[in-house]
Amino acid sequence: MLTRSASVILSPSEDGYVAYDTHRDRLYRLNPTAALIVELCDGTRDRAQLRHDLQPAVGSDWAHWNDWLDTAIDDQLLLGSAPTEAAMPVDTGAALDAGALARQADDLQRRDRVLAAFVCQQHADELDPDDPVMARRLGELAHIVGRRDEARRAYGRYLARCPDDAEVTHLMTALTESGPPPRVSDRCLKQLYERFAPFYDENMTGELDYCAPERLHHAAAAALGARGDLDVLDLGCGTGLNGVQWRPQARRLVGVDLSEPMVARARAGRRYDALETAEITAWLAREPTERFDVIVACDTLIYFGDLAQVVEPARRHLAPDGIVAFSVERGETDPFALSDSGRFTHHPAHVARVVAAAGLTLASLDETCVRYEYGEPVTALLAVCRS
């Protein structure tokens, strides 16, 4: 009799199935006929019976599918006797349980095997549908592999149990296209960076190959020439990766960020002369008590829709001949869009309009890769503006 290996889990996709062998760490993409064969191999049919039942679907193509069946048996995707072999292959697949599958999904995701991770997590969630953590992880992985409907359903089930999760609430906004907020909420950012702070530096500079601070500093240096002794304001300073670039030229380096755990790390790095835990637009709305030669926002305005929210008030805090430098993720939608990642993307034309409307001159607007996300490059716009 033909059966599916016990270690193989299936996930329906738009064009058939994705099958993942949890024991042998192999991913298969099955077209609709292959998917049907795998479904029919349920331990009730031998090859003759399968051929009979498949006749309406494969017609005269049986020879091709008979060969495919041999390959699937050789690969141990399916178990059964191949015509050339009398012995039944032995399935060494271990019994699947939700916890083990979820751990396998984590491990696969760490290795950028996101589709296989999704298939494992989907099965883990099926085995343990009452655990909200399973649903949230399924939402994340469905989201990453672009299965937006499944992500919405999984996040919806999770939020029904955990309605206070500001990050997932925000991601649901991105996935439902219900109109983006003006900027990502403080509650969402605080939650996100409280979780991210302990491994932010390691993750960004290691796995994600983050180089926005160097690239933005390089672009700004061209506009600043040989100027030193600079008073620098770092908006969304985070742990201080951007401050590293500016410290050698800074007479005074001030950092502002709303995430206390991120600011605590910046404080521990001892690079800033002053650090404040505050929301940027609230901070900029204050009457200026000092003026800055450089106002820099590196990878921070990705959390804002209309960039005028920051660029216009920033101008009031600039010293004569000061510059504003910022990076955003480049998008195709003019003026900007909230992407599935929960971050905003911005169109170059929007950047140019906002800068001009703030009475600044665009000294340069470069496009470059500043990091990787699931192995794909993230293209940023680096804007340097003169007063």
Point out which residues bind ligand SAM (CB under 6 A): 183, 189, 193, 212-213, 236-238, 241-242, 257-259, 262, 279-280, 298-300, 303
State in angstroms the smallest separation of the CB of 247 from ligand SAM.
14
CA–CA gap between residue 99 and residue 276 (Å, rounded): 42
**Which is closer to ligand SAM, CB of 147 or CB of 371?**
371
Per-position DSSP letters for 247-311, written without gaps between them:
GGGEEEEEEEES-HHHHHHHHHHT--SEEEE--HHHHHHSPPSS-EEEEEESS-GGGBSSTHHHH
**Which is closer to ligand SAM, CB of 165 or CB of 299?**
299
State in angstroms the smallest separation of the CB of 234 from ligand SAM.
7
**Which is closer to ligand SAM, CB of 160 or CB of 274?**
274
**Which is closer to ligand SAM, CB of 136 or CB of 183?**
183
Element (H, E) at 378: strand 376-386
CA–CA gap between residue 268 and residue 127 (Å, rounded): 44
Q: Are 324 and 295 in contact (CB under 8 A)?
A: yes
State in angstroms the smallest separation of the CB of 133 from ligand SAM.
24
**Which is closer to ligand SAM, CB of 168 or CB of 275?**
275
Q: Which phi and psi angles does 385 have, rounded to 5°? A: -125, 140
CA–CA gap between residue 163 and residue 140 (Å, rounded): 16
Helix 47-58 and helix 62-74, axial crossing angle in degrees, nearest 10 = 130
Name the residue whose CB lies closest to ligand SAM: 238
Q: Are 138 and 121 in contact (CB under 8 A)?
A: yes
State in angstroms the smallest separation of the CB of 188 from ligand SAM.
10
**Which is closer to ligand SAM, CB of 21 or CB of 257?**
257
State in angstroms the smallest separation of the CB of 142 from ligand SAM.
24
State in angstroms the smallest separation of the CB of 273 from ligand SAM.
17
**Which is closer to ligand SAM, CB of 77 or CB of 262?**
262
A 10 A CB-CB count for 366 gives 15
| 207 half-sphere exposure, CB direction, 13 A CA radius | 12
State in angstroms the smallest separation of the CB of 10 from ligand SAM.
37
State in angstroms the smallest separation of the CB of 80 from ligand SAM.
52
Q: Is 250 exposed, middle or buried (0-12, 13-18, 19+ CB in 10 A)?
A: buried
Give CB contacts under 8 A, 24+ apart, made by 19-23. 19/77, 19/119, 20/116, 20/119, 20/120, 21/76, 21/77, 21/93, 22/93, 22/94, 22/96, 22/101, 22/104, 22/120, 23/92, 23/93, 23/94
Q: Are 292 and 181 in contact (CB under 8 A)?
A: no
State in angstroms the smallest separation of the CB of 235 from ligand SAM.
7
Q: Which of 264, 268, 237, 234 is nearest to 249 (CA)?
A: 234
**Which is closer to ligand SAM, CB of 36 or CB of 325?**
325
CA–CA gap between residue 17 and residue 218 (Å, rounded): 47
3-state class of 244 per DSSP?
helix
**Which is closer to ligand SAM, CB of 9 or CB of 263?**
263
State in angstroms the smallest separation of the CB of 123 from ligand SAM.
33
Q: How far is CA 197 from the centre of its chain?
A: 16
**Which is closer to ligand SAM, CB of 293 or CB of 329?**
329
